Structure 1
Amino acid sequence: MTVTVGLLHPGSMGAAFGAQLGARGHTVLWCPDGRSDATRLRAEDAGLQPVTLAELVARSEVLLALCPPAVAEEVAAAVAAVRATSADAIYVEANAVAPSRVQRVAELLAPMPVVDAAVVGSPPAGGKTPTFYLAGTEEQTDRIVQLFAGTDIRTHVLGDSLGAASALKLAYTSYQKVSRVLAAVAYGAADAYGVGDALLAIAAKRTRSYLVETDYIPKTAARAWRWGPEIEDAAGLLADAGLPDSLMHAAAATLARWDGSKDQQLTIAEALEELHGRPDDPT
């Protein structure tokens, strides 16, 4: 069974999603109003059909929002402004936004049903197979799972709690993307002092991501009292090299939440409770 999908808006990820759906026989619409020449070329290459926003909303059974996160609510508001009150399309909020913003999108679009979604992985082209995480009612998420059946996009339903997919995406982002920034800053500092190759040699000895080593969280808490000052000195190193030091200061401030855990044998749960802080905690 073919479905008409309205794509808001075809960036590199959205265009690749649209191409996957088009290859399965679905009709994928997009609105070129106000879009750049680069976006128009992506849409053409992906075989998307250009229409007005009003027509896109009126014709679509699924509205897929894959746009820069800063404009997620603006896009939802634009859809709400032109939709018919009887429209029964599903709005898939697939942007990297906080759960609270997903709730605001749902409020903007009510009574239109909203599925919370998040993409983890590269655009589905050249053999890449990203995972599309979904959260919402079973009926709605089932429809989205069926929509992407047979494509290179793997779906994974997280349950019916709106915001769960977005929370997972941003939790992962908080490590994965920030760690890339930290890597650039660390290498920049080492390179400034002529020890870049030595730093890479040290890093090459590791084979796993710190993100999976949750048993190290309590150890970090127990050592925070001495790690904090060390990281503040690292901030000084970066500043001397003309590199941004705010990430180091922020990390030191985070470690300060564990100041009372010096050399303690905490569980993971206890360490995380301390990290959450107390209502009167100035950090």
Structure 2
Amino acid sequence: MDQPTVGILHPGSMGAAVAACAATNAASIVWCEAGRSPASAARAAQFGLTAVATLPELADRSDIVISLCPPAAAEDVARDVAGHGFAGVYVEANAINPERAARIAGVLEPTATVVDGGVVGSPPVRGKTPTLYLSGPTAATTQVEKLFVGTAVRTKTLGIEVGQASALKLAYASFQKTSRVLVALAIGLAREHGVDQELIEVASRRGGSYLSEPEYIAKTAVRAWRWGPELEEAADMLAAAGLPPEMLRAAASTLARWNDAKDARELTLADALNRLVQP
């Protein structure tokens, strides 16, 4: 198919921006407005996505469905799509562990073809160029790659096994997100003793240290509602591999102190640290 119709579940900040990039090579991009918030509708309109009334309509019209939703909802979303007889390519692009990705493949196949996906990077807006890693059947991953040719979303196929893309995404997230949590704790601790600026200056003399980017603490707090569940997924993956999961579970627990900071775009560094001290 030269120009497929693509369904996006759901148009969050990442999903809407990724879908808008796919529109470059798609006939149309559709999303299901049933049960979605006014904020989702506004994002969909901003990115030029076409609303359909129901999930059955989306499943019927779409050649490719991309699932980008909170990790906890990934399996329920897949079951809903499978229940409506979707028979195209289903891109499971959520931050979930490989075991869950395989379960989702079991729910949708053989009626649909499942491609495992993982987005590494920020939403593709304002010059950002995330990479969508893929794994699964070659013909299907090739279709997904073609969707993003010439767009801000780069693609890379890792292999034919569902779960490989999810594993890479969570392995990276386990480092990157836990590192940001450690920065918040280190600077919060230093602040209690009046030496936080000195700590930041020490870090700035050591190239590449996240400690030299304290402004990112507020951004971490705003994203905590998403990052915590991702780290729980990564902890489950560690446990399944016989590796200790406790560090990531502790980081997820720390992030939970910021859950009420969701969408608090004006949050300052001081505000974020205060919320961490007084959840």
**Fold in common (TM above 0.5):** yes
Partner Cα distance (1:204, 1:20) in 2: 36
Do 1:91 and 1:114's aligned partners in 2 also have CA atoms closer than 8 Å? Answer: yes
Q: Aligned letter for 1:3?
A: P
Counterpart mapping for 1:245-264 below 5 A: none
What does residue 11 of structure 2 align with? 10
Do 1:24 and 1:151's aligned partners in 2 also have CA atoms closer than 8 Å? Answer: no
**CA-CA distance at 1:247 after TM superposition:** 5.8
Q: Would the alpha carbon gap of residues 186 and 19 (structure 1) be closer, same or farther in structure 2, given more than 3 Å must change?
A: same
The higher radius of gyration belongs to 1
Q: Would the alpha carbon gap of residues 153 and 194 (structure 1) be closer, same or farther in structure 2, given more than 3 Å must change?
A: same
Q: Aligned letter for 1:42?
A: R
**CA-CA distance at 1:18 after TM superposition:** 1.5
RMSD of aligned residue pairs (Cα, Å): 2.0
CA deviation string 1:57-89 (max 9, x = no partner): 011110100111110001001101112xxx530
CA deviation string 1:144-176 (max 9, x = no partner): 111111111100110111101100010011110
Deviates further, 43-52 or 67-76: 43-52
Alignment partner of 1:45 is 2:46: yes
Q: Aligned letter for 1:10?
A: P
Alignment partner of 1:72 is 2:74: yes
Report SS of the residue matched to 2:15: helix
Identity %: 51
Q: 1:54 aligns with which of 53, 56, 70?
A: 56
What does residue 91 of structure 2 align with? 92
Do 2:24 and 2:148's aligned partners in 1 also have CA atoms closer than 8 Å? Answer: no
Report SS of the residue matched to 2:83: helix
Partner Cα distance (1:63, 1:202) in 2: 48
What does residue 128 of structure 1 align with? 128
Partner Cα distance (1:67, 1:115) in 2: 16
CA deviation string 1:36-72 (max 9, x = no partner): 1100100111111111210110111101001111100
5+ residue gaps, structure 1, are 211-245, 252-283
Counterpart mapping for 1:215-230 below 5 A: none
Greater RCO structure (CA 8 Å; 6+ sep)? 2
Taking structure 1 as the reference length, what is the TM-score of the superposition? 0.72
Report SS of the residue matched to 1:119: strand
Taking structure 2 as the reference length, what is the TM-score of the superposition? 0.73
Q: 2:84 aligns with which of 75, 82, 103?
A: 82
What does residue 65 of structure 2 align with? 63
CA deviation string 1:172-219 (max 9, x = no partner): 111100111110011000000000011111211222469xxxxxxxxx
**CA-CA distance at 1:22 after TM superposition:** 2.2
Counterpart mapping for 1:193-204 below 5 A: 193-204=193-204
Q: Would the alpha carbon gap of residues 249 and 140 (structure 1) be closer, same or farther in structure 2, given more than 3 Å must change?
A: closer
5+ residue gaps, structure 2, are 211-245, 252-279
Partner Cα distance (2:173, 2:84) in 1: 33
Do 1:120 and 1:169's aligned partners in 2 also have CA atoms closer than 8 Å? Answer: yes
Partner Cα distance (1:171, 1:116) in 2: 15
**CA-CA distance at 1:23 after TM superposition:** 3.8
Do 1:8 and 1:63's aligned partners in 2 also have CA atoms closer than 8 Å? Answer: yes
